[in-house]
Amino acid sequence: MDQKRFSQRTITEDGRLMLAKSERDGVETVWDRLEAQQPHCGYCELGLSCRNCSMGPCRIDPFGEGPQQGVCGADSDIIVARNLGRMIASGAASHSDHGRDLVEVLEAVADGSAPGYTIADEAKLRRVAAEYGVEAEGREAGAVARDLARAMQEDYGTRLSRLGLLSRAPEPRRALWDRLGITPRGIDRETSEMMHRTHMGVDNDWQNLLLQALRNALSDGWGGSMIATEVSDILFGTPQPVASRVNLGVLKEDQVNIAVHGHNPIVSETIMRACRDEALLRKARDRGASGINLVGLCCTGNELLMRHGVPMAGNHLMTELALVTGAMEMMLVDYQCIMPSLGQVASCYHTQMISTSDKAKFPGMEHQEFHSDNAADLAQRLVERAVDNFGRRNPDKVSIPSQPVDLVGGFSVESVLQALGGSLDPLLEALKSGKIRGAAGVVGCNNPKIRHDLGHTALTSRLIENDVLVLDTGCAAVANAKHGLEQAEAAERAGPGLKEVCSSLGIPPVLHFGSCVDNVRILVLAAELAKALGQDISALPLAGAAPEWYSEKAVSIGAYCVASGIDTVLGPTPPVTGSMNVTGLLTGGLEDLLGARFAVEPDPEEAAKWMLSRIEGKRKGLGLDGR
Ligand code: SF4
Ligand code: MSK
């Protein structure tokens, strides 16, 4: 394959070089498999196929010539709405179950049965406990943690009529959710009800289905994901600005390289501690390595980067290519976004692949299950095995491409407030004066249907050039960091107003806000800005984008952003266009209900124009100067 075809797949140098090597090494990648799948099923692309029961599977003819109803009588509106609801249910369940695992570790810490874990941010523990009505004053941290964990577990159940952290949303938004009947009750309840309603013969009103889909997404954003972020901060520390580096150049030829991949910091934090263990470092030196080099992939990598500055090897589409370097002694995975192909890729090299969660096993991986009582010991043993594996590396197969790029990560609501001197006033002033026109969240995945990292970086560049502050998370944050946009020096690439604000604060124009669940940090910041202005979130000059999304989690994120009042543009088209009614509601009608709507625009230049026009429109609505 020629260089041009690699360049069509990715804009990154390390990606291109490793694509060439994968071809030389006979390794198949996600892009090859996408080609092999062409053409994709047109019915599925439009959302018009259904296999919810065994009277089917059914499909609706989009040209109106064939069947217009499934065997049960469901039409295109019902089938598309049901399918979208199920995507959101899966995404919300993924984030929320991740949150539940953290709550269980918090409870185990309180009970003294999690020797590898502690409470890193006691002040935050007490703050969040107070929000849940848990008495924190004058009590031991362990007792507070136990009661907080139990209160959070209640959020998952169905006993309550609304989630505990909903009180963080501005009052007008909560009143709107009540009026629409989409206030999320229990986290598990909304997902369970979504699955129930989409069973054959239950909810067959496409609008009613979509309202439940929004409630389900809100149970993720203001529930499961928010709990995941808050408990991660309590257990592992609230992020503060920290320097790090990114791209496959963070791998080191003379060191034992270990990658952590997935989402939950429960495993990766213990691996990080083991990698810093003096005895294991000595052993690595005895084996001829100069050290142990831990790197991150995807969101568990973001979690470590945000709190400890652990370097980031790459995002979703780089996970196979990280193995193709031939320089990885071990990759440990937890869950979500871990391609089942990884074991097969690793088999071409010496890399040991370890799965760690009882709920996520993979072909070609050895399973070593982590629990809060064995995590510290198991991490030590596995890192020791990675050290032993260093000697089995084949130098002829090793190629580490590119020089790493510097970045600053670690932005959280708390650290932004600190950077602003303890109050949001400087940010509000910059917004009012128009130095900053607005703020945008650029989030989500990679998708081989979009040229790797182009969607994120082109969109983000256009936004900052137009004085829009960007907050990024997940794989978008990794793409932007590789592009040098998360350095203080990137202020030079921003418009004059944003450049002035960033230069005076010494911050980049693109703030790395963390992992996928950390999108809720953006929600909380938006809510605080709205409250300070006495407005609803939908009145603010904010917008969101998922330019290269692939996962069901991203659909849930997009839905809770819109339901929270933030306009959101998606790159790849979601499978809804088989229903004019559903598409029309999502991209138009929702605005009347929620003050925000979706757009679909795969071209990042056009997506930027849409976001800028929405931001300017909101400024006008607030009586701020337009453009
Ligand atoms: Fe077909 Fe209806 Fe069954 Fe879906 S639920 S597979 S449309 S019969
Ligand atoms: S890892 S959900 S590909 S952002 Fe969170 Fe990246 Fe998307 Fe997974």
Q: Are 151 and 134 in contact (CB under 8 A)?
A: yes
Q: Which of 55, 195, 579 to mutate to test the pocket of ligand 1 (most atoms within 8 A of CB)?
A: 55
Closest to 74 in 3D by CA, of 57, 88, 86: 57
CA-to-CA separations, 381 to 289, 296, 359, 362, 368, in angstroms, rounded: 18, 19, 21, 21, 10
- Residue 159: pLDDT band with limits 50, 70, 90: low
Say how many Å lie between the CA of residue 445 and the centre of ligand 2.
Answer: 5
Which residues line the pocket of ligand 2, CB cutoff 6 A? 263, 298-299, 315-316, 337, 444-445, 474-475, 515-516, 551, 553-554
Say how many Å lie between the CA of residue 448 and the centre of ligand 2.
Answer: 13
- Residue 158: pLDDT band with limits 50, 70, 90: low
Residue 434 phi, psi (nearest 5): 90, 0
Q: Which of 232, 316, 334 to mutate to test the pocket of ligand 2 (most atoms within 8 A of CB)?
A: 316
- The mean pLDDT of 28-45, rounded to a whole number, is 98
Q: Quote the pLDDT of residue 161.
A: 80
pLDDT single digits (tens) 69-113: 999 999 999 999 999 999 999 999 999 999 999 999 999 999 999
- Residue 292: pLDDT band with limits 50, 70, 90: very high
Atom from ligand 2 closest to the CA of residue 298: 1
- Residue type for 92, please? A
- Residue 550: pLDDT band with limits 50, 70, 90: very high
Q: Where are the beta strands (DSSP E) in 109-251?
A: 242-246
Instruction: Please state the separation of Cα 357 from the chain's center in Å.
Output: 19
User: Is the fold of 248-397 the same as that of 408-621?
Assistant: yes
- The mean pLDDT of 179-197, rounded to a whole number, is 97
pLDDT single digits (tens) 403-428: 999 999 999 999 999 989 899 999 99
pLDDT of residue 490 exceeding 80 = yes
Helices marked H in 265-335 — which ranges?
A: 265-275, 278-286, 298-308, 319-324
Q: Quote the pLDDT of residue 347.
A: 98
What is d(CA 28, CA 19) in angstroms, rounded to the nearest whole number? 9
55 lines ligand 1 (CB under 6 A): yes
User: For tokens 């709550």, what's the residue?
Assistant: 103
Closest to 401 in 3D by CA, of 483, 296, 485, 314: 314
pLDDT single digits (tens) 496-544: 999 999 999 999 999 999 999 999 999 999 999 999 999 999 999 999 9
Ligand with minimal distance to 547 CA:
2
Which residue, judged by its Cα, is nearest atom 7 of ligand 2?
A: 445
Q: Is 86 helix (H, G, I), strand (E, B) or coil?
A: helix
Tokens of 540: 């603010």
Q: Which of 43, 51, 60, 197 to mutate to test the pocket of ligand 1 (most atoms within 8 A of CB)?
A: 51
Name which CATH class applies to 408-621. Answer: alpha beta
Is domain 248-397 in CATH 3.40.50.2030, yes or no? yes
- Residue type for 576, please? V
Mean pLDDT over each residue of the chain, to the nearest integer: 97
Atom from ligand 1 closest to the CA of residue 58: 1
pLDDT single digits (tens) 109-147: 999 999 999 999 999 999 999 999 999 989 999 999 999
- Residue 217: pLDDT band with limits 50, 70, 90: very high
pLDDT single digits (tens) 379-390: 999 999 999 999
- Cis peptide leading into 57, omega within 30 of 0? yes
Percent of the chain with pLDDT over 90: 97
Say how many Å lie between the CA of residue 169 and the centre of ligand 2.
Answer: 25
Say how many Å lie between the CA of residue 580 and the centre of ligand 1.
Answer: 20
Say how many Å lie between the CA of residue 301 and the centre of ligand 2.
Answer: 11
Is domain 76-236 in CATH 1.20.1270.30, yes or no? yes
The domain segmentation of the chain, as residue ranges, is 3-59, 76-236, 248-397, 408-621
pLDDT single digits (tens) 356-383: 999 999 999 999 999 999 999 999 999 9
- Residue 402: pLDDT band with limits 50, 70, 90: confident
Q: List, in order, residues 6 or more apart from 391 with CB less than 8 Å away.
A: 287, 288
